[in-house]
Amino acid sequence: MKKRARSKPVVYELKPGQPLTARQKREIQALAAMPEDKIDTSDIPELPRGAWKNAVRGKWYRPVKQPVSIRLDADVLAWLKSQGSGYQTKVNIFLREKMLKEIGK
């Protein structure tokens, strides 16, 4: 039985500050212009239906923190602190949830 020749995967490593080569730009443009059904994705089969059911958006996302001064009502601050340590993190979580709800994510 004849073994099927396996093609080598093409790997591009882009280092920060290193621009794409002219060849890389041409290849990207050619792929972008190609219809979806003409792109060979046989080496990356589709995931099963439930593959993303436990996915969490931004689990490893760690945005840059910026120190600010904020004035809170005394009772709100007391309530936050009564929930245990990390009241500033809780304020950030509440504000992030509100922000994401408003921007529709």
Taking only the tens of pLDDT, the chain with its 105 residues reads 556 566 677 776 777 788 888 998 998 899 899 998 888 888 888 888 899 898 887 788 888 899 999 999 999 999 999 999 999 999 999 999 999 999 986
Question: Which pLDDT does position 49 carry in this prediction?
Answer: 87
Torsion angles phi and psi, residue 51, rounded to 5: -60, -30
Question: Which pLDDT does position 91 carry in this prediction?
Answer: 95
Question: Which pLDDT does position 1 carry in this prediction?
Answer: 53
Dihedral sign, CA of 14, 20, 21, 23? positive
Question: Which pLDDT does position 12 carry in this prediction?
Answer: 65
